[in-house]
Amino acid sequence: MKVSVIMLVSAFLVLVLCAGTHAFGQTKAAAEDEASAYFTLQPHPEEILYYIGFRTMVISASGLDRSVVSPSGSEASFKILPGSTSNDLKMTTSARIEGQFQVENAPYELRDRGDTECFQGKCYPERSASAMVAKASIWGLPTSPLHPGISWTVEISHAWEFGPAGKQTIRVISVDPEDGSVILTRDGEGDGPRDQAGNTTVVMKGGRSYTVSVKRGHTHWSGKATIQHGLIVSDECLSDAEVELSSPEFGKVTGRERMFMALMQHPEAIQY
């Protein structure tokens, strides 16, 4: 089950982090430990976490009726199980899309700081745009103490839900040592198809639908997230990709494919 499927549940990626080796008189190891505390999970068995998610995609081009593809809203709960560690979060999950259960009390696990997910005994690289944990492949780790304005670079070696392989900059907006939270932005770009991107899609022109081939070029993405002790409190991301749409019947046109997602921790279960 992917975080993209339920907007919460869908990559092994190479990280290149840049920062100084000393800051404020601390050693590099001490600085890394201080910074990593904001990204390190502190699981509490029997705790139940609730998330709400939204994802949509819009294709636009000259002469084309604006096409909104696969808008979806979902919510899910995650119950933390005994035996969970900071690097291996064991849970059961129940998830609904548009109010309809897709899974209920299913075994679910996130490993490797969120970069590997296991659902009902099968494990996969986790390549969604976000997850309930601060994924190593997206956010990386700084090597100096966190403070507003500090930044580091993350190299993404594989295509993911919202973009191709590329490079992004992570920047700190604010830090709250009292509750272990940090607000970050991400800004990146790359060329080529995103993960699980279809080669065809349906668009509207003059009130008529056409099935067209899709070729994706340069993509830029940006977003903002609040992370608390390794858990995502809120996260949003917008990607903007160049696309070429074509078919014998439709012809050829260049346009944009924009994707937006939002993921938010919710204080209680949603009642239906």
| In a domain? residue 52 | yes
- The least confident of 117-121, 221-225, 226-230 is 117-121
In a domain, 272, yes or no: no
Determine the pLDDT at residue 250: 87
**Residue at 60 is within a domain:** yes
Q: Return d(Cα 66, Cα 61) in angstroms, integer.
A: 8
Query: pLDDT, tens digit, for every residue of 100-141?
Result: 768 889 999 999 989 999 998 899 999 999 999 999 899 998
16 in any annotated domain? yes
Predicted TM-score of the model (pTM): 0.84
pLDDT of residue 127: 93
213, part of any domain: yes
| pLDDT of 25 above 80 | no
271 in a structural domain:
no
Cα distances (angstroms) measured from residue 256 to each of 46, 167, 208, 263 = 44, 20, 19, 23
Other residues' Cβ atoms within 10 Å of the Cβ of residue 78: 21
Number of H helices, E strands in the chain: 3, 13
Query: How many domains would you assign to the chain?
Result: 1
Residue 240: pLDDT band with limits 50, 70, 90: very high
DSSP 28: H
Domain that residue 179 falls in: 3-266
- Give the pLDDT band (50/70/90) at residue 272: low
CA distance 117 to 96: 19
Q: Is residue 232 part of a domain?
A: yes
Mean pLDDT, range 54-79, rounded to an integer: 85
- Predicted confidence (pLDDT) per residue in 186-220, tens digit: 999 999 999 988 889 888 888 888 899 999 999 99
Phi, psi of 34 (to 5 degrees): -65, -45
- On whether residue 237 sits in a domain, the answer given is yes
